[in-house]
Structure 1
């Protein structure tokens, strides 16, 4: 269990590190600060805290899930797609300022995490609660991205 957890933590925090590399000044950039943002937009510091908690919970979820999955290839494919979508969002939004493509990416990621949640429900039972923070945060993030797209 510990080795699986370390592997998933490494991949997930690697994704966050890559994403933050492309974020640059991110929420403190002039471009982002000039956008009309949703009234429910959390303060900037909350994004880092939320993603840290989400990736710890998601890594624990995956470490528990791994031994009970019959088709490891399907889980690896879903995890890899999740990883790519997660990493791709930051440069798309913050570097290229392509709010529409970023919205498509984050909605796709939200749907994917929702599918993982329901697909592996029988294997995880109560532990599915560990993936809920990720799914809920993605719903919020999708709404924030959508608000920016439709109001700027």
Structure 2
């Protein structure tokens, strides 16, 4: 026997990893947005001046669903690459960038911290580039699946900056939602 695993066994391993990791990454992404109270129903966000590049809210939901699915598939490819030299480093880099990704919504939408969220996005940009580089060493196709994600978070970084420029006094500001009544 010259092979450690047949092609069928390797495909089966990838499928098992994908059946666990794709829904897990998708669920984590959705939970992060729900916990943070993202754009829908957030009075602080509703009060912000939207930059010209700001797409419709449905665009964000659709794009993130696709991106989280691609991220999960990419992760499954690397996770199933048992014995690959850079596998553990690549998995650690993915975990780090995912934590950074999931922290953005609570920081921006929940904490109303525009500049801190921008700084987080810059660190996330670097972490995703490192993850892509490490994934390329393990499975080049897995790295390619992360390129749309990198493009989107680079766009998000620009958009976050534009939110800061359009709303310089909104960083950290609380919106109570209370109505002020004036008696005449």
Please tell me the TM-score bracket, short chain as reference: 0.7 to 0.9
Cα offset, 1:136, TM superposition: 0.6
TM-score (norm 2): 0.74
Gap runs ≥5 in structure 1: none
Point out 4+ residue stretches in structure 1 off by more than 4 angstroms: none
Gap runs ≥5 in structure 2: 1-13, 168-184
Matches within 5 A, 1:67-82: 67=81, 69-82=84-97
Give yes or no for contact 2:78–2:91 (8 Å, CA) kept in 1.
no
1:125 pairs with 2:140: yes
Q: Partners of 1:151 and 1:114 in 2: how far apart?
A: 28
Cα offset, 1:109, TM superposition: 1.2
Question: What is residue 147 of structure 1 aligned with on the other side?
Answer: 162
1:54 pairs with 2:73: no
Q: Partners of 2:17 and 2:164 in 1: how far apart?
A: 38
Q: Which has the larger radius of gyration?
A: 2
Matches within 5 A, 1:15-94: 15-24=28-37, 26-66=39-79, 67=81, 69-94=84-109
Q: Partners of 1:79 and 1:125 in 2: how far apart?
A: 15
Give yes or no for contact 1:100–1:149 (8 Å, CA) kept in 2.
yes
Q: Partners of 2:133 and 2:91 in 1: how far apart?
A: 16
**Structure 1 residues 27 and 39, CA gap change in structure 2 (3 angstroms):** farther
Question: What is residue 174 of structure 2 aligned with on the other side?
Answer: none
Q: Partners of 2:32 and 2:71 in 1: how far apart?
A: 17
Q: Number of paired residues?
A: 152
Cα offset, 1:151, TM superposition: 2.7
Question: SS of the residue aligned with 1:97?
Answer: coil
1:5 pairs with 2:18: yes
Cα offset, 1:30, TM superposition: 2.5
Give yes or no for contact 2:75–2:142 (8 Å, CA) kept in 1.
no
1:112 pairs with 2:127: yes
Whose RCO is larger (CA < 8 A, sep 6+)?
1
Question: SS of the residue aligned with 1:42?
Answer: coil
**Bigger helix fraction:** 1
Q: Partners of 1:71 and 1:121 in 2: how far apart?
A: 9
- CA-based RMSD: 1.9
Give yes or no for contact 2:107–2:116 (8 Å, CA) kept in 1.
yes
